[in-house]
Amino acid sequence: MKRLFFILITVLFSGLVNAQDTLAAKGDHILYGIVVDGDTILVSTIEEIYILPKRKFESRRDMRKYERLVRNVKKVLPYAKLAKQKYDEVESVLLTLETEKEQKEYMKQVEEEIVDEFEDDLKKLTISQGRILLKLIDREIGETSYELLQEFRGKFSAFFWQTLARIFGHNLKSTFDAGGEDQLLNEIVLLIENGQL
């Protein structure tokens, strides 16, 4: 086995290797290979996975708190993904509209569609789920909810909704800090996206 590995490494770096060729393609799966002295060697990539240390809890209460956070993230993450998808769609359409009037009409139409489709579901979210959703929207889009409101609805509307949110304990200006206070939240999202949780 060591000898085969040594030979393979030697051949790869000796300049005798041809460029990668596509061996087969089926849907999104493409197999690549290289030909060395008439032999075809499969070249493959593997999907990225995250290996995190096993989480240890100091008490059952901490374990239940973590499990609750996982449930809440699983519930609101699809909404954050939909927000990113809708944001990209709206941004591309707004670039094609020429007048400010057309843009405002389009934004009103999009707002009505979103309200019709998601209002009932979003009203059922708990306060903690709402906070997580605000953080995940910032993670997905790269802008806080306040910035999005300011961009699409104007400064006054953003100020109004921020004031209302503050009354109920939310902050539309909250940012996602993957390496700091939101590290655990980011780990959970990565594990969910990767199918590991």
Task: Mention every residue, 6+ apart, whose C-beta is less than 8 A from residue 84.
Answer: 137, 140, 141
What is the spatial distance between Cα 68 and Cα 94, in angstroms, rounded to a whole number? 39
Q: Which pLDDT tens digits describe the chain residue by residue (197 residues)?
A: 555 555 555 555 544 444 445 555 555 666 777 778 878 777 777 777 777 778 888 999 999 999 999 999 999 999 999 888 888 888 888 888 888 888 888 888 888 888 888 888 888 888 888 888 888 888 888 888 888 888 777 788 788 878 887 887 777 887 788 788 888 888 888 888 888 77
- Side chain identity at residue 97, one-letter code: L
Beta-bridged to residue 24, according to DSSP, are 31
23 φ, ψ to 5°?
Answer: -85, -45
**CA 61 to chain CA mean position, Å:** 29
